[in-house]
Structure 1
Amino acid sequence: MIQNEEFLEFDPSIAEEFGYEISSQISFLGVPLCDTQSLLHLLMRFAFNLLISWLIVRICYYRKSQRKDYVLTYMLFSSAMFLLIFLMENVNLQIGLTLGLFAIFGVIRYRTETVPVREMTYLFVIIATSVINGLALNISYVELIVANALIFLLIWAMESRVLLRHTSAKLVIYEKIQLITPERREEMIADLEQRLGHKVNKVEVGHVDFLRDVAFVKVYYELPDGEINTVDHISKPNQFV
């Protein structure tokens, strides 16, 4: 038995020479209590994803719709989806889960109420953006910024009438059914323009009730620049939010 055995001082360079990584992190049950580098990476990615989502929701969506309930929904979806994707380690499971979420929302469309197509489109965009920011861990920050910028610029261009001019449509219950015939269409358009106060581009005649002398008419018209209308397709009081 050797007494008073002296041990050499530990040299980290020797371990690194043989390919071992030396960590000074404090762990509990084999799990690090705090990984500073990973935490910083998570916070940076989360802040970037939150910024992009806020720009899409606030500048593109809310400026036209003015619906605060969906703003809350989109921001919470963005944050939850990003954290879910970012913190999962199995890439195959991430992709499968993402495709599953797209399929679920495409089928049920929020079973509590019918979500308009525009709102569902923004929901898919928010989910897709969060998935991109959560999964793209091996690409450069420049590529990530460019990808998000392309999504934002495309939405902004479509919403700001840069690529096309938007036409609003309103459902009207029209009582002058004597004007719904094709040969009197110009008279009908002139009457609608006078009563609605907008220039009417075209009209489509739908259901006609001869017992009540009314017809359902879809009126297409253009709003002045900078003016919006979010209730064109609402025809019942319980559809107002």
Structure 2
Amino acid sequence: MPVESIVGYNLNLGRTVEFFISFVLNSLVIFIIAKYLYFRIRRNKDYLFTLSMFNIIIFFICYFLSSIELSLGFAFGIFAIFSILRYRTETVPIKEMTYMFIAISVAIINAIASASVVLIEMIFTNAAILGLTYILEKAWIKNEKKQKIIYEKIELIKPERHEELLKDIQERTGLKVNRYEIDKIDFMRDSAHIYIFHYD
């Protein structure tokens, strides 16, 4: 049996090294994005997990599919991955959706480009994504203010009524509220403690 094959699997050391380099680079980038850019500001552990797992799983899918001679089929596969974002189990804030898009894009770039792009170009691309995300994030939150309110229209806290709740808060406070977070719900008093975020 040739050294290059064991139980039907090819042993291509060059490609194996390439895979681990791509994986380490991808993991490092998504760790910085999820932990130090997203979580440091948003403090949402659910999305921290989602960002990380989306990135890693999609990296594996794209990397191994890219080694197969696929054309149209591969393209449809990529679109299918993006279609996952259309789920409506709850309303996903636009900021979280943007981070999910970044996580998916980083995974696809590192997985597919590894075979055709030199390492320095991959490093530069990832560094550019990190740098731009950091700069835009700092600018985004620069003038964001946070306030806590007690909200009595408890029927509007359902995920499917997200837009109604946001509009009602804006009308009653006169603030251009861009997002909110429900801190706790008091069913005894039919009220909810909500953090609202707005810009100056």
For 2:6 and 2:96, locate their aligned partners in 1 and report how far apart those are by CA, in whole Å.
45
TM-score by length of 1: 0.58
Q: 2:6 aligns with which of 13, 27, 33?
A: 27
Give the deviation of 1:63 after TM superposition: 1.1
Q: 2:60 aligns with which of 77, 83, 88?
A: 83
Which residue in 2 is equivalent to 1:120?
A: 97
- Using a 3 Å threshold, how does the CA distance of structure 1 residues 153 and 207 change in structure 2: closer, same or farther? closer
More RCO (CA 8 Å, sep 6+): 2
Q: Deviations over 1:109-165 (max 9, x none)?
A: xx322221111110011001100111112011111111111111111001123x884
Give the deviation of 1:68 after TM superposition: 1.9
Which residue in 2 is equivalent to 1:45?
A: 22
Which residue in 1 is equivalent to 2:172?
A: 216
For 2:111 and 2:149, locate their aligned partners in 1 and report how far apart those are by CA, in whole Å.
46
Contact 1:58 1:71 in 2 (8 A): yes
Q: Which has the higher helix share?
A: 2
| CA RMSD after TM alignment | 3.2
Q: Which amino acid aligns with 1:155?
A: T
Indicate the SS of the match to 1:216.
Answer: helix
Identical positions, percent: 23
Contact 1:82 1:134 in 2 (8 A): yes
For 1:218 and 1:57, locate their aligned partners in 2 and report how far apart those are by CA, in whole Å.
33
Which residue in 2 is equivalent to 1:227?
A: none
Count of matched residue pairs: 166
Residue 157, structure 1, aligned to residue 135, structure 2:
yes
Contact 2:62 2:112 in 1 (8 A): yes
Structure 2, unaligned stretches of length 5 or more?
Answer: 152-166, 186-191, 195-200
Q: Which amino acid aligns with 1:166?
A: N
Which residue in 2 is equivalent to 1:140?
A: 118
TM-score by length of 2: 0.69
Give the deviation of 1:171 after TM superposition: 8.5
